Chains A and B, each alone.
Chain A
Amino acid sequence: MMLVALATVLFVPGLWAQFGGILSVAPPLTVKTARDTVVTSKLAIQLRNGYHVNSNTPADEYLIPLSLTWNPSALRVREIVYPKPKMESYSFSKKPLSVYTGDFEIVTRFAVPADAPLGSSTVTGRVRYQACTNSACYPPKTVEVTLPVDIQAH
């Protein structure tokens, strides 16, 4: 009976989903800002243990970089700052690879134009990554991201 119960718990959809992705992105906090300012948003990313993704600047031309792309919106992307990559050695590579592992953040600096519409809206984007373990690699994947924005009058 305990096995049956365990099987049932494993297949509860909400729990199962936690095991589904190699990389997960936490829903970003709402950006509360005003017109004619520059605002920063952090995107918290978590990678499953034992996996790595290529950094945004992999050394090998064939490797697929991690990338964050924002769709056009009322905000203007000033700068996307990726964390400093780790140079790690893997059994399948003669030279160390530029990668991210574990938890890390990507920071975006947005400019809010003077004529940006007031009120609540969202900015959408996507994180593209390609993950590997020490012995296998997985096809590139894309995670959609939604950033809530609240532009208030001065």
Chain B
Amino acid sequence: MVIRLGNAGAATALFILVLVGCSTSAHVGDAPEALKPAGERRMAPDFALKDADGRTVRLSDYRGKVVLLDFWATWCGPCKIEIPWFMQMEKEYKDRGFAVLGVAMDEDGWEAVKPFLAEMRVNYRTVLGTDMVAQQFGGVDALPTTFVIDREGRIASTHVGLASKSDYENDIQALLAQP
């Protein structure tokens, strides 16, 4: 069935179609995103969130480092696969200017997150996320969602859902090799 539209209706529908087509959000099941060229990267939104010790952590504190920013939750099975990878990467690359920062999205807060971090012996810093910060990063809904951020604080790649370890390693190594 073809619906015949007037000029105004057609223009509105086309506008909506263009908006959808222009969306830059990554989705679950998308092919692994390659590193964006430096000129196409957008700045990661800054935030101020509390870590497990109550200290304020700002993303801008990490400027000059390559950052793996992982949105996760204790109830997220695929996140639990990636966390040990990130622990290993933190250990392997931290002396070269790399850091992992976890953003826990549990609605029960530290009561749920702290025992999990202790059980997993997570060796990198974790902050408690908020819906507002998730919105600033494009409306993080599916977990895990992980952003790899370059030394200038720009988002170089986004991974939605369980990615492969080698995708992260390739991203990190490429960004660490850049001045």
Contact = CB atoms under 8 A, between A and B. Distances in A.
B74 A136 contact: no
A4 B14 contact: yes
B31 interface: no
A93 interface: yes
Interface in B153-168: 160-162
B9 interface: yes
A1 B14 CA distance: 10
Contacts of A5: 1-5, 13
How big is chain A's contact interface, by range?
20 to 34
B94 interface: no
B16 interface: yes
B169 interface: no
B74 A135 contact: no
Contact of A97 (B2, B74, B77): B77
Given A62-B75, A138-B141, 4 more contacts: A5-B13, A7-B16, A137-B79, A138-B143
Complex A-B, nearest 9 residue pairs according to Cβ-Cβ distance, in ascending order = A136-B161, A135-B161, A136-B142, A137-B76, A92-B78, A5-B3, A135-B162, A7-B17, A8-B13
Interface of A: 1-5, 7-9, 11, 62-64, 90-93, 97, 130, 132-133, 135-140
